[in-house]
Amino acid sequence: MKISNEQKKINRAKIIQTAIDMIIEKGYKSATMRGIAKQAGFGDATIYNYFPTKESILFAYYKDKLNETVEKIKEIKDFNEYTINEQLQTVFNIQFEVFLLDREFIAVSFKKIFLTLNQNYKQIKNIKDQFRVIIKDIFDAAVEADEIPPQIFEEMIFHFIWDYYIGLVLFWLNDSSEKFNDTTILTDKSLDLICALIKAGVANKLFDLASYFFKNHILARMTTFKRHKDTINIIKRGFMGADSE
Q: Which of 161, 177, 179 is nearest to 92 (CA)?
A: 161
Q: What is the DSSP letter of 150?
A: P
Class of domain 54-200: mainly alpha
Nearest-5° angle of CA 91, CA 115, CA 191? Answer: 30
Q: Compute the CA torsion angle 137, 141, 144, 145 (nearest 10 deg).
A: -170
Q: What is the DSSP letter of 151?
A: P
pTM, to two decimals: 0.80
Q: What is the pLDDT of residue 117?
A: 64
Q: What is the pLDDT of residue 36?
A: 96
For residues 108 and 23, the answer to whether their CB atoms sit within 8 Å is yes
Q: Where are the domains of the chain?
A: 1-52, 54-200, 210-245
pLDDT in tens, the chain (245 residues): 678 899 999 999 999 999 999 999 999 989 999 999 999 999 888 999 999 999 999 999 999 999 999 999 999 999 999 999 999 999 999 999 999 999 999 999 998 888 876 667 788 889 999 999 999 999 999 999 999 998 888 888 899 899 999 999 999 999 999 999 999 999 999 999 999 888 887 666 554 444 445 455 554 555 555 555 555 555 555 555 554 44
Enter the CATH code of domain 1-52.
Answer: 1.10.10.60
Report CA-CA distances (Å) from 60 to 45, 50, 54, 144, 222.
19, 10, 10, 33, 53
Distance CA 12, CA 59 (A): 13
The answer to whether 1-52 and 54-200 have equal CATH topology is no
- What counts of helices (H) and strands (E) characterise the chain? 10, 0
Q: Left, alpha or beta for 213 (phi > 0: left; psi -120 to 50: alpha)?
A: alpha
Helices 84-100 and 121-144, packing angle to 10 deg: 150
Which residue type sits at 90?
T
For residues 55 and 121, the answer to whether their CB atoms sit within 8 Å is no
For residues 80 and 141, the answer to whether their CB atoms sit within 8 Å is yes
